[in-house]
Amino acid sequence: METPQSEVPAELVAKYDTAGPRYTSYPTAPVWTDAFGDAEWDAALAEADTHGDENLALYVHLPFCQERCLFCACNVVITQREDVLHAYLDRLKQEIATVASKLPNRRKVSGVHWGGGTPTHLSPEELEAVWLCITEHFNVLDDAEVSIEVHPPVTTREQMETLARLGFNRISFGVQDIDSGVQALINRNQSLEQTEDVLSWARELGFNSVNFDLIYGLPGQTLDTWNYTLDQVARLLPDRLAIYSYAHVPWLHPHQNRMPEDQLPSPELKLELLRTASRRLEAEAGYAEIGFDHFALPTDELATAVKDRKLYRNFMGYTVKPARDYIGFGMTAISEVGNAFAQNHSKLNRWNEAIDGGHCAVSKGHALSLEDRVRKLIIERLMCNQQITFAEVEELSGESFSEHFASQWQALEDFENDGLVVRGERDLTVTKLGRNFLRNICMLFDSYLDEQLREGRYSKTV
């Protein structure tokens, strides 16, 4: 297959290929500290409870997997022991009940997401038991977005029927890469037929939307193998696609050392894999590019939200159903409540001890200052709309944008000269070329970045 010419100049790849956050939050999780504990969490929930007319969103972390995929940076528990699973589910239900008791006036839920791990590690009966616990303590609205992540090799027809009956209406498959050679290098054994089976069940059972997760930058990926994967995706035509950059951080996740580092794509090839996906998905399959590293068919709600500037972003990605507060349950789960972030213990034994001791399971967090909230707004708008409107920022900050961010405005001149942004009188707009370096642009507004970079927390942005 002929190698297409990259749309991104090589000198820009070299210039901007630096470490940086993905900005699923601001401030990012490494900034949060253990100074945020039980008292701060209770105060955040008490503040959230005063907004009784606004909806909540819930996240449930189900961390169990049969075996570890070598690329994975998620917090997982590799086990097939039923006693460990059952004990976790009992404590999870206890956590849900405890948090709900602190929100007596705030129970309406517009979004629920289950992630992991592999939620379909649970049996149909276990899936239903967790769902019934949620609906016992919260009012999940009829039009709520209810989604779950599944791993096709361990997902059965019975599980899918149970999820559909319970009201799940969106489903996301971990696909990552369809080429068998790449799968072997990352310890993932998922046949195309398994993916096709679960997709056909989802459509037959009436799920509103199906998402595929793909990853570019994995060892063994070439333009040929990647085009094969894209061929199959275009044929299967899921409603949404999330195409993530592989984060190679073996100093944080030592199991990544088991993959051959010398077979990782170069930064130039890695970016070409993304651009190839973008070209083919838009031109050949009819997808629209959504925000940052997401794609959706024109009929999907995400595509409509982009046109209407009503796209939102949280820890689970892009959504059209914003919620003022977002509560996570289970080990390592993250919450955004009452202008504060909180994260549960990431070690199973620590989370167990907290729940058994009658405490909240929060291990660290961060209460946002006004300055944090202003910068958070800027980064969210860039990630969702690729545009900042100065008036909106000034309304929150109470200060002139040009004065408040004078140094950033000056630094953006270099980005503008490279064709990545357009600096207007009333706004800042990211160009199509600039989307490739969106993380770098957001980094200009991150006041915590220098310290975090010194600690080696982040993967490369390209």
Q: How far does CA 365 lie from the centroid of its chain?
A: 18
Looking at residue 387, which CATH number applies to its domain?
1.10.10.920
Residue 256 contacts residue 250 (beta carbons within 8 Å): yes
**Taking residues 210-226, what's their average pLDDT?**
96
User: 170 and 183: one domain?
Assistant: yes
The percent of residues in the chain predicted with pLDDT above 90, rounded, is 73
Tens-digit pLDDT profile for residues 295-335: 999 989 888 888 877 888 777 778 887 788 999 999 999 99
451 falls within a domain: yes
**Residue 277 sits in the same domain as residue 388:** no
Q: Which of 265, 298, 328 is the last residue of a domain?
A: 328
Give a yes or no: residue 340 inside a domain: no
pLDDT tier for residue 454 given thresholds of 50, 70 and 90:
low
What pLDDT is attached to residue 5? 36
Comparing 267 with 452, the larger pLDDT belongs to: 267
Instruction: Give the model confidence (pLDDT) of 74-107 as tens digits.
Output: 888 888 888 999 999 999 999 999 999 999 999 9
Identify whether 363 is part of a domain: no
What pLDDT, on a 0 to 100 scale, did the predictor assign at position 314? 76
Residues 265 and 398 in one domain: no
Residue 2 pLDDT > 60, yes or no?
Answer: no
Residues 286 and 374 grouped into a single domain: no
Residue 115 domain flag: yes
Asked if 426 and 388 count as a contact pair (C-beta separation under 8 A), the reply is: no
Determine the Cα–Cα distance for residues 393 and 70; give it in Å rounded to an integer: 41
Q: What is the CATH number of the domain that holds 283?
A: 3.80.30.20
pLDDT at 18: 85
Q: Answer whether residue 190 shows pLDDT above 80.
A: yes
Question: Which residues have CB under 8 Å from 199's CB, separation 6+?
Answer: 173, 210, 236, 238
Residue 27 has pLDDT above 90, yes or no: yes
> pLDDT tens digits for 134-189?
999 999 999 999 999 999 999 999 999 999 999 999 999 999 999 999 999 999 99
For residues 292 and 418, membership in a common domain is answered with no
Enter the tokens of residue 138.
Answer: 């919260």
Using the predicted structure, report yes or no on whether residue 455 has a pLDDT greater than 90. no
d(CA 329, CA 96): 7
Q: Which of 272, 306, 328 is the last residue of a domain?
A: 328
Higher pLDDT, 53 or 218: 218
Closest CA to 375 of 357, 391, 345, 396: 396
pLDDT exceeds cutoff 80 at 384: yes
CB 311 within 8 A of CB 290: yes
Q: pLDDT tens digits, residue range 192-201?
A: 999 999 999 9
Kindly state whether residue 333 falls inside one of the protein's structural domains: no
283 and 192 within one domain: yes
pLDDT reported for residue 22: 84
Exposed / middle / buried, residue 14 (Cβ in 10 Å: 0-12, 13-18, 19+) = exposed
Burial class (CB in 10 A: 0-12, 13-18, 19+), 83: exposed
Spatial distance between the Cα atoms of 417 and 402, rounded to a whole number of angstroms: 19
Q: Determine the pLDDT at residue 9.
A: 84
Q: Do 35 and 18 share a structural domain?
A: no
Q: What is the mean pLDDT of residues 228-243?
A: 96
Domain assignment of residue 354, yes or no: no
Contact 331, 61 (CB under 8 A): yes
Cis link prior to 21 (omega < 30° from 0)?
no
Instruction: Please state the φ and ψ torsions of residue 280, each to the nearest 5 degrees.
Output: -70, -40
Are 102 and 48 spatial neighbours (Cβ–Cβ below 8 Å)? no
pLDDT at 115 over 70: yes
Residues 5 and 83 in one domain: no
**Same domain for 380 and 320:** no
Domain count, the chain: 2
Domain membership of residue 104 (yes or no) is yes
Total residues found in the chain within this entry: 462
Q: What is the pLDDT of residue 456?
A: 61
C-alpha Rg value of the chain to the nearest Å: 22
Can you give the pLDDT at residue 457?
A: 66
Among 328, 356, 383, the domain boundary falls at: 328
Please indicate, yes or no, whether residues 113 and 9 belong to a single structural domain of this protein.
Answer: no
Residue 271 forms part of a structural domain:
yes
Q: Do 416 and 318 fall into the same domain? A: no
Give the range of the structural domain holding residue 102, as residue numbers without chain letter: 25-328
Q: Same structural domain for residues 37 and 20?
A: no
